[in-house]
Structure 1
């Protein structure tokens, strides 16, 4: 009698649990998420008379508190939907070479951090900035790679479409910076952020969870801020170019290897090879 043997890379699909979420409802959730960051940031920063990230106090009132509220909102939504498993775990594996994506991102982070400038700022400033940027990572990855990816998958999109649309939504959301002082540069930022979203999506899939991409996202922002004029109020740190160069390097690698990201289907999955038992 013939017995089908599932290929090793194929995990049985997890049971669909929790509430169903429409695209419109997801859009409302994303808008609420943005409103929490923008409005609470303006109100709290104005109340504290802080509008920059040059001091520990400035980081706390303009970043840490508003972003902390957004993280609470994001995972409150996950809990309300009953989506902890699909948000925090990813059961769609990719080929192992894709580990090059988080590896290059980590290398860029280590090169991009301006260690000497941070030392001058003091340990409390560094800790506050590190926590604030982790709030960015866990909030945005929870919202867009967690909830967003789950919404798209549950609407039956193919995985290539999930990757595309979750990354594009992530980029479009950053167009909101055009209304808060970003101007025309927000368009370029949205394009770059969409690309970054794809890198974090692949990090989620190759690691099998939403944790590594969240931590990496936060550290990437920490690295960029540590070398920027916004943080240092002086000339930009040359190491800042390391995280920026990671984008074209990864884009080229993924373009060349784009056909080898997904695991190859096994003969059994194609209706071919089976194992037989007498």
Structure 2
């Protein structure tokens, strides 16, 4: 297996598919088992309070984020994870632009105003932990390991997105068969985040947008007791079919001219 691109020879370790799977499982275990343990210790089982967000999100997600970048540093993959040397055509910037517009329009500003600035700041940090952690694992380590195994960029996009969606099937433990359509939607989101990584030439913008996307969704559904449905929450969801149609039409114009797909 070749070493990851964008790194100097001799400075990186190799990673097999089974070991990548182990890393993903450990990452999920830190979040799920750590979250359950902290919920038991704290007595907090929702995100209605700052304390609930700290124990339910900040602590387990922070530990998972530290694990993710600890693994990346150990592998010597900081450069290939944080920098992407596979550009796209400029029009692909439409993907992050649409995300930013949908996020800005989809945030429930009224609900956040009721919570106060400390709560909002803590929730913002927590959701950034989600974004940087998941993007570090799936678009960072995942994309790098697939490229190191010699897959074409089309297959890198496909399999990194499929794995991202598949791990969300673990939600079936608490949500039953409803986890299946969620996994499919998450796979599609994974492809969008992959394109944001490519067009921005790094793993930062997709991480930030991922976190803000989750922040927008939570602001409209999960921060107030008996919270009524906020119509703006539909806007981040509607971007999926909009972007899917755009990318279906323009799918052959993503790679630069002459690039191997």
For the criterion TM > 0.5, the same-fold answer is yes
Q: 1:14 to 1:72 in 2, by over 3 A?
A: closer
Partner of 1:158: 152
* TM-score normalised by the chain length of structure 2: 0.95
Q: Once the two structures are superposed, what CA deviation does each residue of 1:153-207 show, in whole Å capped at 9, x if it has no partner?
A: 000000000000000000000111111x222111111000000000000000000
Separation in structure 2 between the aligned mates of residue 190 and residue 235 of structure 1, nearest angstrom: 25
Alignment of 1:93-242 (within 5 A): 93-179=87-173, 181-228=174-221, 230-233=222-225, 234-242=227-235
Separation in structure 2 between the aligned mates of residue 15 and residue 257 of structure 1, nearest angstrom: 35
Query: CA contact under 8 A between 2:108 and 2:232: conserved in structure 1?
Result: yes
Separation in structure 2 between the aligned mates of residue 206 and residue 59 of structure 1, nearest angstrom: 33
1:232 Cα offset (Å): 2.4
1:13 Cα offset (Å): 6.2
Runs of 4 or more, structure 1, over 3 Å off, are 12-17
Separation in structure 1 between the aligned mates of residue 258 and residue 27 of structure 2, nearest angstrom: 39
The structure where helix makes up a greater share of residues is: 2
1:227 Cα offset (Å): 0.6
Q: Structure 2: state its 5+ residue gaps.
A: none
Aligned with residue 86 of structure 2, among 87, 92, 117: 92
Equivalences, count: 254
Separation in structure 2 between the aligned mates of residue 85 and residue 13 of structure 1, nearest angstrom: 7
1:14 Cα offset (Å): 5.3
Paired residue secondary structure (1:157)? coil
Q: Once the two structures are superposed, what CA deviation does each residue of 1:109-128 show, in whole Å capped at 9, x if it has no partner?
A: 00000011101011111011
Q: Once the two structures are superposed, what CA deviation does each residue of 1:229-270 show, in whole Å capped at 9, x if it has no partner?
A: x2223211100000000000000000000000001118xx9x
Aligned with residue 259 of structure 1, among 215, 237, 252: 252
Partner of 1:6: none
Q: Structure 1: state its 5+ residue gaps.
A: 1-11, 270-278
Separation in structure 1 between the aligned mates of residue 87 and residue 27 of structure 2, nearest angstrom: 29
